[in-house]
Amino acid sequence: PAMAKAVCDRSHELGYKVAAHVEGVEGLKVALRNGVDSIEHGAKPDDEVIGLFKTTGAALCTTLSPALPYALFDRSVSNASEVEKYNGNMVFEGIIACSKAALEAGTPVALGNDVGCPWITQYDFWRELVYFCRYVGVTPAFALHSATLGNAQVAGIDDVTGSLEPGKHADMIVTDSNPLEDLTTLRHVRHVIRDGVFIAEPHVKRKPVVDRELDKFL
């Protein structure tokens, strides 16, 4: 706890926000009591944790993508041990429970996908929005808001990006159809505008095996 507080205090003195990787309830309490600005992942919360979120104003970053393969894939596909599958399911259910409780309590909830973990690619962030709807129970509109303006607010950059407003960067994508009706259209990004720079037909190198297995859980 003392180290967590020291890190948070010094970071805040320097003008930085602090995010903490937490997947257990006691870790949540240590992080929130000592000044962390956002919790990455989360765990099934108790009343004290919900109270700490409220009093501190900390945000939650929901990350279902890294836990889903361990929790839901057959072990012959994930190559997970029995212990890894058990732990993966516990983390997966904990993230869902934390997300639902945070939303009910009015805590800001952002979205992340923990790129670098097994089965997570740089081009697949859209899946996190689909999982957020399916497992947490939000609408596509809310998922899009959380992934754009919500993320920008948690990161402290909503003055320059996160929404289309005068004075902000022109950051947007073009898709074939309306993601408010079907979030999976986000997998086919036709054009990207980044700070006003137009990128036509961006190409990404896809991983067919990863896509095939993950598509089973859309």
Strands 19-22 and 38-41: parallel
Cβ contact 78:59 at 8 Å: no
Question: Among candidates 88, 30, 37, 96, which has minimal Cα distance to 62?
Answer: 96
User: To the nearest whole number, what is the mean pLDDT of the chain?
Assistant: 97
pLDDT digit string, tens, across residues 106-145:
999 999 999 989 999 999 999 999 999 999 999 999 999 9
> Which amino acid type is present at position 14?
L
What is the CB neighbour count within 10 angstroms for residue 81? 11
pLDDT digit string, tens, across residues 151-201:
999 999 999 999 999 999 999 999 999 999 999 999 999 999 999 999 999
Global confidence as pTM: 0.95
Residue 60: strand, helix, or coil: strand
Please give the domain boundaries of the chain with CATH numbers for all domains.
2-159 (3.20.20.140)
pLDDT digit string, tens, across residues 34-51:
999 999 999 999 999 999
pLDDT digit string, tens, across residues 3-26:
999 999 999 999 999 999 999 999
